[in-house]
């Protein structure tokens, strides 16, 4: 396994094509806006090196038999699924941000089982190719960006009926040695910090969408791949040299629009090409795994936010107020409910035909449906407890100013025993988690990540088995019986 420092150097050596604010960037490792997001990924390596976290952060590979980072693991039991959620909570507690490796891990497990079943039906050789690819990922301890979301264009039209065919990534040419693809993937979390990108279809495809039913992997710096970094609230604060104003100065997240401009993919890295009847299975399985993930990562960040709200109450001298205590209890209740759903869908996991384990699909979607709601209430309560100072406090430059700084120190102090600077640090942390750069990986992503709320409700409706419940009611009411 790589160390955190080795990981950073491996990213620095890559030839990524990135654009941000209209300028070309060579590496996330040395960019002040992107480096905090790189640090979040680095933490997944650092934690794996800690003996006290080895049980959660590492696993034994089913492919090589070697010790590997759990983020590269193919789940072999319900216990693996449980440890995944616990690992994600630990990483969220450590970074208070998105640590970006979950999407790749979830893609690994979805592609692993889907390719096995596709081969069984169609006689294709995708599963063997993918196992070989996973051996490389595990042995080199790579970060792989799972790429599913296409721009989609007109949501009322299927991929093949779009006015612009590139609005869904598709095959444009087939060669004896591989395929040529073109299109884009949107909202790609962690792509600037990834060694590879694993592309999947974004929706279940119809027979006439054959060119869009494609799954493959390429290096993130492959010819024709480039990324346009997305804006985040308060992102340019990182350029100001202020640790106080950023709130979470060490860690962060990032997203980008990733362009695939006639990218060549060799056959050995193609894991689906035209099998439309398995595109829906791949999408659903990935979505299930990723909706499970939110019961861990968002809970870990929630732990930090609850702690920050409690600290704000201490700084404000309001910690003993009954309504503050009640709000902290409610935040904890909501956070632990999310965790319970993540653990529950893991405990109910089952073995697939390929041998890896899949979560309970219904409970995973219930987990994510709760995530679309509860973090918003946790955020509201944190902002309530913290007070308006979290968004009206002067800058660090003002605080350090020899003339006006003493006035800020005097008038923005809360409890006399707590330094004003510490109070401001707590306020900025709450701001960062609820409104700033970390909010992208907590607040907004809770709504749209792993599919919209309606996507989960569709699965819940299908998996909820209303007919069985009606039969239960009929039996108890003795309907049809004398």
For residue 82, the domain's CATH number is: 2.40.110.10
Range of the domain at 435: 291-465
CA distances from 372 to 233, 296, 360, 450, 453 (A): 20, 14, 19, 10, 7
H-run or E-run covering 44:
helix 35-48
Could you tell me the pLDDT band of residue 351, with boundaries at 50, 70 and 90?
very high
153 and 232 within one domain? yes
Do both 41 and 69 map to the same domain? yes
Q: Which of the following is catalytic: 98, 215, 249, 315?
A: 98
Q: Is 294 a catalytic residue?
A: yes
Assess whether 310 and 257 both reside in one domain.
no
- Whether 348 and 424 map to the same domain: the answer is yes
Same domain, 208 and 295: no
Return phi, psi of residue 118, to 5°: -65, -45
Flag whether pLDDT at 309 surpasses 90: yes
User: How high is the pLDDT of residue 239?
Assistant: 94
Q: Extract the tokens encoding 428.
A: 């900025």
**CATH for 398:** 1.20.140.10
Q: How confident is the model at residue 339 (pLDDT cuts 50, 70, 90)?
A: very high
Phi and psi of 260, rounded to 5°? -115, 95
Model pTM score: 0.96
Q: Which one of 73, 249, 290, 420 is the catalytic residue?
A: 290
Higher pLDDT, 217 or 450: 217
Each as own residue / partner, the long-range contacts of residues 60-66 (CB below 8 Å, 24 or more positions apart, any chain) are: 61/138, 62/355, 62/356, 63/131, 63/134, 63/135, 63/138, 64/135, 64/138, 64/139, 66/138, 66/139
Q: Looking at the DSSP assignment, which residues form a beta bridge with residue 68?
A: 59
Q: In this structure, are 223 and 315 located in the same domain?
A: no
Q: What is the pLDDT of residues 136-154, one digit of tens each?
A: 999 999 999 999 999 999 9
Instruction: Compute the distance between CA of residue 361 and CA of residue 379 in angstroms, rounded to an integer.
Output: 27
List residues bridging with 171 in a β-sheet. Answer: 181
pLDDT digits (tens, 9 = 90+) for 374-407: 999 999 999 999 999 999 999 999 999 999 999 9
Same domain, residue pair 349 and 428: yes
CA 348/CA 358 separation, integer angstroms? 9
- Report pLDDT for 16: 97
198 and 331, same domain (yes or no) = no
Which one of 118, 215, 297, 315 is the catalytic residue?
297
Does 161 lie in the same domain as 271?
yes
Last residue of a domain, one of 252, 280, 308: 280
Could you tell me if 302 and 186 lie in one domain? Answer: no
Q: Could you tell me if 107 and 163 lie in one domain?
A: yes
Look-up of token digits 């980008």 = 256
Catalytic residue among 294, 339, 357, 442: 294
Q: Is 255 a catalytic residue?
A: yes
The whole-number pLDDT of residue 438 equals 84
Same domain, 370 and 405: yes
**Residue 482: pLDDT over 90:** no
Q: Is residue 66 assigned to a domain?
A: yes
Q: What angle do CA 263, 266, 267 make, to 5 degrees?
A: 130
Q: What is the pLDDT of residue 481?
A: 86
- Whether 50 sits among the annotated catalytic residues: the reply is no
Give the position of tokens 């907004």.
444
Residue 75 is among the residues annotated as catalytic for this protein: no
Position 437 pLDDT exceeds 90: no
Residues contacting 234, CB < 8 A, separation 6+: 246, 247, 431, 432, 435, 436, 437
Residue 305 has pLDDT above 80, yes or no: yes
- pLDDT exceeds 80 at position 360: yes
Total of domains in the chain: 2
Question: Which residue in 102, 118, 215, 341 is the catalytic one?
Answer: 102
Instruction: Tell me the two tokens of residue 22.
Output: 């209209």
Q: Is 347 a catalytic residue?
A: no
How does the average pLDDT of the chain come out, rounded?
97
pLDDT at residue 361 in the model: 97
Percent of the chain with pLDDT over 70: 100
Cβ contact 305:430 at 8 Å: yes
218 occurs within a structural domain: yes
Question: Is residue 378 in a domain?
Answer: yes
CA separation for the pair 11, 29 (Å, rounded): 7
Q: Is 445 a catalytic residue?
A: yes
């Amino acid at each position: 396994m790589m160390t955190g420092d080795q990981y950073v150097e491996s990213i620095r050596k890559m030839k990524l094509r990135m654009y941000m604010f209209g300028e070309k960037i060579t590496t996330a490792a040395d960019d002040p806006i992107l480096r905090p997001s790189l640090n979040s990924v680095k933490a997944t390596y650092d934690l794996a090196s800690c003996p006290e976290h080895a049980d959660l952060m590492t696993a034994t590979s089913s492919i090589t038999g070697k010790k590997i980072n759990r983020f590269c693991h193919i789940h072999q039991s319900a216990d693996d699924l449980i440890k995944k959620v616990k690992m994600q909570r630990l990483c969220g507690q450590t970074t208070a941000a998105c640590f970006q490796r979950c999407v790749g891990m979830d893609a690994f497990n979805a592609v692993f089982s889907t390719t096995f079943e596709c081969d069984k039906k169609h006689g294709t050789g995708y599963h063997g190719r993918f196992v070989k690819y996973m051996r490389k990922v595990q042995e080199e301890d790579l970060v792989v960006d799972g790429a599913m979301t296409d721009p989609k264009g007109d949501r009322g039209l299927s991929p093949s009926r779009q006015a612009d065919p590139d609005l869904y990534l598709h095959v444009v040419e087939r060669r004896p040695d591989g395929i040529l693809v073109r299109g884009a993937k949107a909202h790609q979390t962690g792509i600037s910090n990834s060694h590879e990108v694993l592309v999947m279809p974004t929706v279940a495809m119809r027979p006439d969408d054959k060119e869009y039913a494609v799954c493959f992997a390429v290096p993130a710096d492959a010819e024709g791949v480039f990324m346009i970094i997305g804006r985040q609230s308060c992102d340019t604060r990182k350029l100001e040299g202020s640790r106080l104003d950023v709130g979470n100065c060490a860690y962060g997240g990032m997203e980008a629009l990733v362009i695939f401009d006639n990218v060549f993919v060799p056959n050995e890295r193609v894991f689906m090409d035209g099998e439309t009847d398995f595109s829906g299975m791949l999408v659903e399985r990935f979505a299930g795994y990723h909706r499970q993930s939110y019961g861990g990562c968002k809970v870990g960040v929630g732990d930090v936010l609850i702690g920050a709200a409690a600290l704000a109450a201490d700084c404000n001298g309001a910690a003993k107020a009954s309504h503050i205590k009640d709000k902290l209890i409610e935040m904890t209740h909501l956070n632990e409910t999310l965790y319970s759903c993540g653990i529950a869908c893991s405990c109910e996991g089952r073995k697939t035909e390929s041998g890896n384990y899949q979560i309970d699909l219904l409970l995973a979607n219930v987990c994510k449906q709760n995530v679309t709601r509860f973090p918003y209430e946790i955020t509201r309560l944190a902002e309530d407890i913290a007070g308006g100072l979290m968004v009206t406090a002067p800058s660090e430059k003002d605080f350090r100013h020899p003339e006006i700084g003493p006035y800020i120190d005097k008038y923005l102090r809360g409890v006399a025993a707590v330094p004003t600077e510490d109070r401001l640090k707590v306020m900025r942390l709450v701001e960062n988690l609820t409104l700033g750069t970390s909010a992208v990986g907590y607040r907004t992503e809770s709504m749209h990540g792993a599919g919209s709320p309606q996507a989960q409700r569709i699965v819940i409706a299908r998996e909820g088995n209303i007919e069985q419940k009606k039969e239960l009611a009929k039996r108890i009411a003795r309907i049809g019986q004398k």
